[in-house]
Amino acid sequence: MKQITTYAGKKVLVLGLAKSGTNAAKLLKRLGATVTVSDVQPLAENQDAQELKAAGFNVILGEQTPDLLDAGYDLIVKNPGIPYDVPVVKRALDLKLPIISEMELTGEVAEAELVAVTGSNGKTTTTTMIQKMLDHDRQAGRAVYAGNIGVPASKVAQEVTADDTLVLEVSSFMLVGTTEFHPHIAVLTNIFSNHLDYHKTRANYVAAKMKITANQTADDYFVVNFDNPEWRELSKQSAAKVVPFSREDNSQDGAYEADGELYFRGEKIMAASDVKVPGDHNIENALAAIAVAKIKGVSTAAIVSVLKTFGGVRHRTQYVLEAEGRQYYNDSKATDMEATEMALKGFKAPVVLLAGGLDRGYTFEKMVPAFKAHVKAIVLFGQTAKLLEDAAKQAGIKTIKFAENAEAGVPVAYQLSDPGDIILLSPANASWDQYPNFEVRGDRFIKAVENLTGKQEEK
């Protein structure tokens, strides 16, 4: 860890705990700051607060009102999930208090070279692919991932050395709170119109994403999806060397797909059909990872080995196992229609789909074309089951069944399937009507598949 003095003697408020805030607080204390932490969750239910309180931190729990700032702080480290329009943050902005995210701290103290990945979709899969490629047959140090992928970046930043590579998944929420963050290689997978409740405008959202390259220089690299004119134009804002990737062969100056083959600057890497995780979106993710790996001098053999064996990130079109000629996939992370459409388009074999979940007040006519093209039978559960039934009927799906929940739908889906079919959990809805989160939903689906088949999930 770099021994910086930036925070020595500073009075810092960490706003919001969970993994991000808790580890940021510990790092700041190590760097010599006087740290106060604030979280809305009461002490009895807040293990992070209990731990920090026992370690001697000043812990303030309950509603985060503007008078929280009356104690006079030099800096706020804000949990990325807390919006900028809540009263306490608005007051901090009025007071011109610096507000940073854990990701800013990570960039300041990590000795390892930084690779950072952002985008509306594909961040986690791309981050994981890159980490695996950079770690494959590595001679010195290791490649590790952290950040929005679920591993606290500020904790890992204290552990990595100059021989290592730190591959960071970085959300727009994290990037807003950066000023000096400077990855050697930055990756932009794509930009759609997400999180506008947080960022308020698409322009703000795009600006947040582009902070990933704001401090890069001509000695750095910006890997960008060239399959959209907007993203190509955005790449011109970067001072780094732009390395494109394109599934539509829009540039051969980086990684691209042509005639079913994946290339990097004219060198054939492998057949697109040999990438283990299904779907065109995962070809894009693979191309982004190939670009980074080639920049770092990873061998083609290592790249091919990773892409032929990597079965996907847990809960994201994750290959579970094959039994009796049926392949089971867990895509519990598909909490909206777009994600399920993308998953369905990734399969050429007939799909028996399990879908349903929290009713957010919309209907599912948009799903009809994807249902019609890919789904032979559907098993529905949760609050939106009847709404999805309407869309399934419009798509002409003749076999529509209902189950109590995702795991109860597994044996039903098996009965509706034939050898060669795909059995896919891709709910198109949030999980909160029946589960604490999408991870629990996916885990229970996997357990049900294991119970049904007598086989273990492939890892």
Q: What is the pLDDT of residues 79-106, one digit of tens each?
A: 998 999 999 999 999 999 999 999 999 9
Beta strand pairing call for 326-330 and 318-323: antiparallel
Measured CA to CA in angstroms, residue 292 lies from 117, 220, 285, 374, 443 at distances of 10, 12, 11, 33, 31
Q: In degrees rounded to 5, what are phi and psi of residue 352? A: -100, 115
Q: How confident is the model at residue 422 (pLDDT cuts 50, 70, 90)?
A: very high
Q: How confident is the model at residue 24 (pLDDT cuts 50, 70, 90)?
A: very high
Q: How confident is the model at residue 194 (pLDDT cuts 50, 70, 90)?
A: low
Q: How confident is the model at residue 290 (pLDDT cuts 50, 70, 90)?
A: very high
Q: pLDDT by residue (tens digit) across 337-396?
A: 988 998 999 999 999 999 999 998 889 999 999 999 999 999 999 999 999 999 999 999
Measured CA to CA in angstroms, residue 321 lies from 122, 132, 213, 457 at distances of 22, 21, 39, 6
pLDDT at 160 over 70: yes
pLDDT at 27 over 70: yes
Q: Pick the closest to residue 440 from 330, 344, 310 (CA basis).
A: 330
Q: How confident is the model at residue 197 (pLDDT cuts 50, 70, 90)?
A: confident
The C-alpha atoms of residue 381 and residue 435 are separated, in whole angstroms, by 12
The response to whether 125 counts as a known ligand-binding position is yes
Proportion of the chain above pLDDT 70, given as a percent = 100
Token digits for 7?
């925070």
pLDDT at 414 over 80: yes
The response to whether 120 counts as a known ligand-binding position is yes
Q: Pick the closest to residue 78 from 155, 147, 154, 20 (CA basis).
A: 20
The response to whether 348 counts as a known ligand-binding position is no
Angle at 217 between CA 214 and CA 234, to 5 degrees: 45
Q: pLDDT by residue (tens digit) across 301-315?
A: 999 999 999 988 889
| Mean pLDDT (whole number) for 428-435 | 94
The response to whether 119 counts as a known ligand-binding position is yes
Structural domains in the chain plus CATH codes:
11-100 (3.40.50.720), 103-309 (3.40.1190.10), 318-453 (3.90.190.20)
Measured CA to CA in angstroms, residue 373 lies from 1, 349, 398 at distances of 52, 11, 13
The response to whether 296 counts as a known ligand-binding position is no
| Mean pLDDT (whole number) for 403-426 | 98
Q: Residue 52: its pLDDT value, please?
A: 97
The response to whether 309 counts as a known ligand-binding position is no
| Mean pLDDT (whole number) for 131-140 | 96
Q: Residue 198: its pLDDT value, please?
A: 84
